[in-house]
Amino acid sequence: QKEVEQNSGPLSVPEGAIASLNCTYSDRVSQSFFWYRQYSGKSPELIMSIYSNGDKEDGRFTAQLNKASQYVSLLIRDSQPSDSATYLCAVNRKGNTPLVFGKGTRLSVIA
Amino acid sequence: EAGVVQSPRYKIIEKKQPVAFWCNPISGHNTLYWYLQNLGQGPELLIRYENEEAVDDSQLPKDRFSAERLKGVDSTLKIQPAELGDSAVYLCASSLGAGVYDTQYFGPGTRLTVL
């Protein structure tokens, strides 16, 4: 089992819809979770971080964490074509250990 | 505030040639990372620095790769000799510290093509 797993997609959603991106991780002691957005040919850009169980909202983005199920998700409300990118889930098990990335999910928002 | 700076942005070399990448982290960030990203994959850590000290280089292919971070600021990653399989994007990132809640910020990356 890979440490961080994401569906590679592509996930296609119509403009204005909610995009739901999912990520599972294998190490139960993982403590921090990050979502990065990466446009084609560009570097990863931090979207959100989450550390505690529950939801965290920032504008159109909501991160959800369920440590018991080892599951973290990112919801994008009112999806726009400019949201079309690859979304990387990253997990940090504990301090002084590498941030582990999933392969990313490619999102396509259709106008 | 300036972000992480990397150069060059693109590099094309022939196999067996040497190549070097340079990174300047965000001011005040003590921790610096070099990642390798292949197409369709997430970034994979090559080496992590705490100030001048390389504290995690277990994934660095030491027979051909080397890195340094003089004075705890700028860093250079070198490949000598380059192989065809080294074609990838090399990303530099920095963070204030190496704690579990420290966010890593990425530079624009260097896209290496080995012919």
Report pLDDT digits (tens) over B71-91.
889 999 999 999 999 999 999
* Residue A109 identity (one-letter amino acid): V
Report pLDDT digits (tens) over A65-91.
999 999 999 999 999 999 999 999 999
Touching check for B38 and chain A: CB below 8 Å? no
Q: Is the pLDDT of residue A97 over 80?
A: no
B chain contacts of residue A101, beta-carbon cutoff 8 Å: 42-44
The arithmetic mean of pLDDT across residues A2-20, rounded, is 93
Q: Is the pLDDT of residue B1 over 80?
A: no
What is the C-alpha radius of gyration for chain B, rounded to an integer number of angstroms? Answer: 13
Touching check for A31 and chain B: CB below 8 Å? yes
User: Tokens standing for A28?
Assistant: 């139960």
Q: Cite the beta strand spans of A1-111 per DSSP E.
A: 4-5, 11-14, 19-25, 32-38, 45-50, 54-58, 61-66, 71-76, 85-92, 99-101, 105-110
Which residues, 6+ apart, have CB-to-CB distance to B63 below 8 Å? none
Q: In terms of Cα–Cα distance, which of A37, A48, A22, A47 is closest to A85?
A: A37
